[in-house]
Chain A
Amino acid sequence: EAQVTQNPRYLITVTGKKLTVTCSQNMNHEYMSWYRQDPGLGLRQIYYSMNVEVTDKGDVPEGYKVSRKEKRNFPLILESPSPNQTSLYFCASSLSWGGGTEAFFGQGTRLTVV
């Protein structure tokens, strides 16, 4: 089954404790991205990757890092999480860059930083 898998689904952590949210897709997609969703602010892009070893900032990259060492995986790293990073996070992938393709989303990771 074609899917984007995120882990964990839920995470509660303390301020400053490094964490990684994993994202994996099984569709051989070139393009992957991370979003955060907050009430009243909609979905905002954090980082994206057009292919292996190619990443770039989205709208709200501060406090986040990503890497794309393999095509299927695109982890999101919070080196020193803060309470304002409490949010619902989604990973997405699509076959290529451009408006002509559909995006597939993971089920989400609900992160709480205390």
Chain B
Amino acid sequence: DAKTTQPNSMESNEEEPVHLPCNHSTISGTDYIHWYRQLPSQGPEYVIHGLTSNVNNRMASLAIAEDRKSSTLILHRATLRDAAVYYCILLPHAGNMLTFGGGTRLMVKP
């Protein structure tokens, strides 16, 4: 199974952009890159996903490297509510088992 590598933790100041990196050097051609986040005492929440092209939605942007071996989740203006554990996950085209590793704990300072 393709694995992802993320930093254990990151800090950001409120209202500043945050770039959360993810390495996935063994990604296969049909793997989608998904990002979820988990706030304290809540279930995981979908953030964004993409295959090859960069993606934007109301929550974040996803920048995917040309070789697809890495990606970056971009929160344009961090708020205190964005403090959570962010998980980068690879999902095959035909498959739906979400395997969450350690993720990146994002701390947002006021």
Contact = CB atoms under 8 A, between A and B. Distances in A.
B94 A97 contact: yes
Interface in A67-114: 90, 92, 94, 97-108
Contact of A103 (B46, B51, B99): B46
Interface residues of B, number: 26
A105 B95 contact: no
A45 interface: yes
Interface of A: 4, 31, 33, 35, 37, 42-45, 48, 58-59, 90, 92, 94, 97-108
27 contacts: A4-B43, A33-B96, A35-B98, A42-B99, A42-B100, A42-B102, A45-B97, A45-B99, A59-B97, A92-B44, A94-B96, A98-B91, A98-B93, A99-B31, A99-B32, A99-B34, A99-B49, A99-B90, A99-B94, A99-B96, A100-B51, A100-B93, A103-B44, A103-B46, A103-B96, A103-B98, A107-B42
